[in-house]
């Protein structure tokens, strides 16, 4: 038996794989419904691309029965870590399957490296502090534009995708926070580290976490809000996992919207007369258990007709962007979104809405490539189109 290096963050999850999975195949389909839920398994149709197969790979490399080689890269990294397997699995380790896959990736990076192009996530961050390789924005211009102070009760953690790729979502969120009278500011962000964690490339993760915590504390904030499901999951769960504690609360933007609605502080003066279907982001749904809250918000928007896709909530089909798949397997990533949009089209909705800029990006890419007559919008962008009065 090969000893697992204590320096590996995922050591306990690797060892968990040794005696838990009985290869019952429950992870392959939606529990009780038997709907397809695993993009990786359905695409490649080999055992090694399902969760049970990846757990077998862990057993093999740890026992020494399986040698490290480049042939293992695709089975290990061609997975959006959507968590559908966790939801279907009925074994004691069910809640930790994604952790086990991420731990396997951390081990694989040390032996054979990540999948093609995934190393760019680290090199770009090292150069520009974001995985897109864009010149780092310290957000000072945005602070001036929105007349934001240096210190405030709240920090809006924009996230790399919103700041560098989905700026309409970023700006819609900024306008909403201003309209709502939230005392907030922005910081000079570094990547939240989600892309590196998902691909097992953990070399700079703790450094970036420490930096972001220091920047938030420097701003005097006791609350952090983000409109990104990936940032939300990382701040809420992974900072603690990596041993980086903090003393502020973390909220997703829809949680603030729901709170304002519950307090009777949002008065709609116009309506959104369209049929909308909601796409559950994996990092918000299966990873964090938030399913009903967004639906409650959509249903309370005047004129909005919310309809459900066949696979929804914990059974939702992934958009295909997560787990390093968007950069490592770009064509397949958009294929996954294509299947989701086909399902959305069956509802006769005109708008597909989500609460994650990464989902918005990939669904938009698929809509453009495959010519879907669907508008892809985030919840905050829908709210931005409405005439809203905030009551104090």
Residue 2 inside a domain? The answer is: no
354 phi/psi in degrees, rounded to 5: -140, -175
Closest CA to 24 of 88, 74, 81: 88
Q: Residue 260, Cβ neighbours under 10 Å: how many?
A: 19
pTM, to two decimals: 0.96
Q: Tell me: do 205 and 253 sit in the same domain.
A: yes
Q: Is the pLDDT of residue 138 over 70?
A: yes
Closest CA to 353 of 299, 303, 298: 298
CATH for 355: 3.40.50.1860
**What is the Cα Rg of the chain in Å?**
21
Task: Return d(Cα 359, Cα 298) in angstroms, integer.
Answer: 17
Q: Tell me: do 89 and 188 sit in the same domain.
A: no
pLDDT digits (tens, 9 = 90+) for 275-320: 999 999 999 999 999 999 999 999 999 999 999 999 999 999 999 9
CATH for 76: 1.10.1060.10
Q: Tell me: do 136 and 221 sit in the same domain.
A: yes
Q: Interior CA angle at 150 toward 144 and 156, to 5°?
A: 80
End-to-end CA gap in the chain:
64
Residue 3 inside a domain? The answer is: no
Q: How many residues does the chain have?
A: 392
So what's the pLDDT on residue 392? 79
Q: Tell me: do 371 and 284 sit in the same domain.
A: yes
Q: Tell me: do 137 and 227 sit in the same domain.
A: yes
So what's the pLDDT on residue 6? 66
Token couple for 16: 């968990």
Q: Tell me: do 178 and 240 sit in the same domain.
A: yes
pLDDT digits (tens, 9 = 90+) for 55-102: 999 999 999 999 999 999 999 999 999 999 999 998 889 999 999 999
CATH for 138: 1.20.1050.140
So what's the pLDDT on residue 17? 78
Burial class (CB in 10 A: 0-12, 13-18, 19+), 31: middle
Residue 156 inside a domain? The answer is: yes
Q: Is the pLDDT of residue 105 over 90?
A: yes
Q: Is the pLDDT of residue 182 over 90?
A: yes
pLDDT digits (tens, 9 = 90+) for 37-56: 999 999 999 999 999 999 99
Q: Tell me: do 291 and 180 sit in the same domain.
A: no
Q: Tell me: do 100 and 63 sit in the same domain.
A: yes
Residue 6 inside a domain? The answer is: no
Percent of the chain topping pLDDT 70: 98
Residue 130 inside a domain? The answer is: yes
pLDDT digits (tens, 9 = 90+) for 139-165: 999 999 999 999 999 999 999 999 999
Q: Tell me: do 253 and 283 sit in the same domain.
A: no
Q: Tell me: do 100 and 209 sit in the same domain.
A: no
Mean pLDDT value across residues 375-387: 98
So what's the pLDDT on residue 14? 86
Of 111, 139, 159, which residue is a domain's last?
Answer: 111
For 243, the domain range is 120-259
Of 111, 128, 145, which residue is a domain's last?
Answer: 111
Of 226, 259, 292, which residue is a domain's last?
Answer: 259
Residue 1 inside a domain? The answer is: no
Mean pLDDT value across residues 216-241: 98
Task: Return d(Cα 337, Cα 321) in angstroms, integer.
Answer: 8
Q: Tell me: do 252 and 274 sit in the same domain.
A: no
Q: Tell me: do 65 and 186 sit in the same domain.
A: no
pLDDT digits (tens, 9 = 90+) for 320-332: 999 999 999 999 9
Going by pLDDT thresholds of 50, 70 and 90, the confidence category of residue 9 is confident
Number of domains in the chain: 3
């Amino acid at each position: 038996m090969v000893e697992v290096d204590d320096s590996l963050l995922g050591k306990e999850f690797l060892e968990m794989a040794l005696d838990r999975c009985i290869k019952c195949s429950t992870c392959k389909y939606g529990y009780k419904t038997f709907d397809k839920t695993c993009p990786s398994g359905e695409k490649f149709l080999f055992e090694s691309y399902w969760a049970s197969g990846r757990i077998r790979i862990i057993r093999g490399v740890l026992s020494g029965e399986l040698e490290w080689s480049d042939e293992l890269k695709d089975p290990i990294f061609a997975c959006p870590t959507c968590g559908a397997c966790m939801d279907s699995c009925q074994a004691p380790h069910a809640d930790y399957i994604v952790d086990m896959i991420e731990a396997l990736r951390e081990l694989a990076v040390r032996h054979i490296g990540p999948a093609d192009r995934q190393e760019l996530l680290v090199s770009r961050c090292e150069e520009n502090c974001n995985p897109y390789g864009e010149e780092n924005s310290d957000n000072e211009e945005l602070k001036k534009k929105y007349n934001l102070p240096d210190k405030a009760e709240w920090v809006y953690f924009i996230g790399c995708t919103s700041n560098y790729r989905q700026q309409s979502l970023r700006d819609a969120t900024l306008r909403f926070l201003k309209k709502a009278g939230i005392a907030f500011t922005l910081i000079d962000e570094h990547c939240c580290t989600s892309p590196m964690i998902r691909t097992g490339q953990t070399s700079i993760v703790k450094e970036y976490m420490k930096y972001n915590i220091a920047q938030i504390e420097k701003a005097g904030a006791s609350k952090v809000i983000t409109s990104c499901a990936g940032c939300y999951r990382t701040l809420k769960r992974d900072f603690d996992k990596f041993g980086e504690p903090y003393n502020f609360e973390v909220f997703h933007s829809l949680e603030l919207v729901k709170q304002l609605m519950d307090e009777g502080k949002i008065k709609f003066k116009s309506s959104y007369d369209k049929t909308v279907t909601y796409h559950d982001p994996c990092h918000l749904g299966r990873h964090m258990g938030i399913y009903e809250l967004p639906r409650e918000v959509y249903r309370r928007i005047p004129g909005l007709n919310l309809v459900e896709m066949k696979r929804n909530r914990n059974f939702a089909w992934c958009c295909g962007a997560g787990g390093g798949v968007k950069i490592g397997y770009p064509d397949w990533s958009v294929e996954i979104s294509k299947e989701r949009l086909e399902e959305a089209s069956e509802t006769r909705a005109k708008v597909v809405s989500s609460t994650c800029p990464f989902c918005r990006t990939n669904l938009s890419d698929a809509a453009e490539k495959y010519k879907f007559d669907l508008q892809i919008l985030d919840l905050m962008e829908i709210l931005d189109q409405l005439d809203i009065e905030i009551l104090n």
